[in-house]
Amino acid sequence: MIIDYIDTHKQEYGVEPICRVLTEHGAKIAPSTYYDVCARRRQPSKRQARDEELKVEIARVHRENYAVYGARKVWLQCHREGIEVARCTVERLMGELGLCGAQRGKVKRTTVADPQAARPDDLVGRRFSPQAPNMLWVADFTYVSTWPGWVYVAFGACHEFCVSQR
């Protein structure tokens, strides 16, 4: 109702002044709210309509090729089928659809937990907030992949760190 009123009078007074007067008289509405509602009422733009059509085609091409095609091959296949679309558009729409091509190479799994392995007791009980300095020391290590190979990184955090991080 308020939106319709603003639509009727915006040519004469402007959106911002109308919203200001309405807000002063208890009908709070921000100009951004008005513009947001108007945007939702409008028909989609040509780009949005074209994107929706292309999403269907891109998803079909991706699915028909066993979901292994990346943006470049989907783009090439679209051109073979006579669908005129830019490669960057295919990349953008595939991203919006959450589609990606198959990843080459072996995926290296670095940590495989053994469910039967003995686990050390949690002496801290997941509470990393000591009541006084020198009551808690924590340490950890991990490994990082580098060009020459794996590098192990270890650290220890003394009581000052644990107390000051509360």
Question: Where are the domains positioned within the chain?
Answer: 2-42, 46-97
Question: Contact, 153 vs 144, CB < 8 A?
Answer: yes
Distance separating alpha carbons of residues 27 and 131, to the nearest angstrom: 54
pTM, full prediction: 0.50
List average pLDDT for each run of 10 residues in the chain, which is 166 residues long: 90 94 92 90 89 98 96 97 97 96 78 82 79 77 86 74 49
Give the dihedral sign, CA 56/62/64/67. negative
Instruction: Name the DSSP letter for residue 82.
Output: T
* pLDDT at position 166: 46
Q: Which residues, in sequence order, are CB contacts of 145 under 8 Å at separation 6+?
A: 151
